[in-house]
Amino acid sequence: MMETIANSTWFIPVLIAVMAVGLIGLMFYIIPGLTIIWLAILAYGIVFGFNVWSGILFGIITLLMIGGNLVDNLMMGKEARKTGAGWPSILVALAAGILGTFLLPPFGGLLFAALGILIFEWIRKKDFKEGLKSTGGILKGCGLSIVVRVLVGLVMIGIWGAWALWIK
């Protein structure tokens, strides 16, 4: 069965399309783009098999996926902290972002996170402008994290491409 799939004309183009969807999905928080790319690469490994070198490359790809999935929260929190936001505000923004992701996809996560930190910092500091400053920080972190996640996704796909072309 795996040999039939491996020798098909449709398998690699489908994997590339799935990876492209994952790459585009990195711009929206509701779509776990790096995980989608990783799953497509895992499917390739299952169909074509793993050897020492492909296993090492897949391990690197897995670490990139995990790190890339963590980077957005770290960067959003870091940028918000630079503006003086407190950890409780950042945690509220994170929780609100998770809730917003499910309530109002695809942009609800970002919207709820921004509103969460704005309101919490406004109440905490009793200054609307300070709340706006922290909101700007979290949005800046979000933008930076999108750039980083897209780069990580491209590196994952590039490593897979090297694996597919040169390691059998």
Which three-class secondary structure state does DSSP give residue 90?
A: helix
Domain positions in the chain: 2-166
Q: What's the pLDDT tens digit per position in 70-105?
A: 887 788 888 888 888 888 998 898 889 888 878 887
Q: Using a cut of 0.75, tell me whether the model's pTM lies above it.
A: yes
The pLDDT-based confidence of 30 (bands split at 50, 70, 90) is low
Q: Token pair 């098909």 is at which residue?
A: 8
CA distance 11 to 21: 15
User: Would you say residue 63 has pLDDT above 80?
Assistant: yes
Query: Would you give the DSSP letter of residue 31?
Result: S
What is the spatial distance between Cα 48 and Cα 52, in angstroms, rounded to a whole number? 13
Q: What is the mean pLDDT of residues 129-158?
A: 91
